Structure 1
Amino acid sequence: MLSQRTLTGWLRVTCLLLIFCRLSTSEKVLGVETDEFDFDGLPGAQHEFKIEIGAGREECFYQPIVKGGKLHVSFEVIYGGDISVYLRDATAPQHVPNVDAHVNVRDGVMLMSAEQAGAYAICLDNTASRMASKLVYVYLVTYVEEEWSKYRQEIEDLQLTVTNFSETIKNVQQSITDSLVHQASSRMNVIRDWYLITGNNTYVQRMSIAMCLVIVISSCVQVYFVRRLFRYTNVTSTKKPRA
């Protein structure tokens, strides 16, 4: 028979295995597996980094986006002054911000919706500065609203499943606790009954021995007195023969 701690441990291991199996089957991006980016199982890409742009230099990052996907880019210059940031189609000529641009700013946000699938370049331009480098924090995320809604629904369903499983575990633990309480009560009742039976047995034995002694003594007394009633002598008290 398994103890409560062992059974609880097995239930927790089973719950973790179910959650791991559920998460391991969802490592896809928009229903398609890819090895190009680390999407962390989300319906889109998410990157967060800091980069130093040297004086007179430009750095570009390329992000593929599916058709109908949305791109959100936030940036902020940590030190070094203003910088120019622009967003362009990867097929567009260099230094041509055909999507969005922020010129000589310290921070900003760029939003776009891709009408066609393809790669887009996020460029950090520090060519206007000949002496100072810039440290820039960049946060980039791409997603598709429909897929994101499905993903959220799957997460909510998973949370609901885990909640139901947790409730089941709590009910099982409560049942185990009730069973242990019932077993402890039964053991105490058995011990109480054993002491009661042992005491009754001792009482009956002692009373039986006492009654036997009383009966034996009473019998002896009765025999003695009955024999004395029928005992007589052939002479009188004066030693004369009886008539």
Structure 2
Amino acid sequence: MLSLKLILILGVILKGLECDDSINPHEYYDMIPSFEMNFKINLRWYYEDCYFIPLNTHDIIHAIVHVISGGDNTIDFSIFDPNKQLIESKPKSPFSWYDNSDIQIPGDYKICIRNLEHHEKKVYINFVSFSKTEITEKKNEAKNLNETHSYMSERLGAINDNIHSVRRSQILQRMIHSSDQYFIEANNEYVMYYSIIQGFVIILSGVIQTYFIKKLFEGPKQIKPRA
């Protein structure tokens, strides 16, 4: 019976979260409570028990009180804001819950339960609060991480492109250098062969010129008389 009613209450709470644009109901279970109380007590007859929960502006609070056994299974439930103003009251109630997804007045909220019967009652209590500021900060941190990751990916992509450009330039320079080297080697070989041939031509020309000059300066041959 307790579980079914708590499920219904949690359904109401989650339904309220859906109306809050700043909170995604699917992220509700991932939130870390900034304050939580979850226990059972035996509330003596004609006795009031109060609890104080510190809340900041825009915080979220959920309070659930259920009478498990004792007498008529009802208690008085009330909540006071930091200015001691009554903001919630449920007299003679077997189940009481309160949820506020946008606290406007920061401070200590006072939650009281009263047993006005001559019977001790066993009561289940659950108080939970969440800090919207912390949730927003976590979202901003995640967003900043995503932006940083995107920026780093973009920069790494640009660096990678620059590296490819440098590699292409290096390859092109090596190709040009190799081509020039082959051209120089081919020219050197051509110059060497041309020099050898030219040397032979010069030597041959010198020999021929020497021969004809020698012939030019030779006198006529004398004819000896016959005896």
- Larger radius of gyration, structure 1 or 2? 2
Give 1 or 2: higher helix fraction: 2
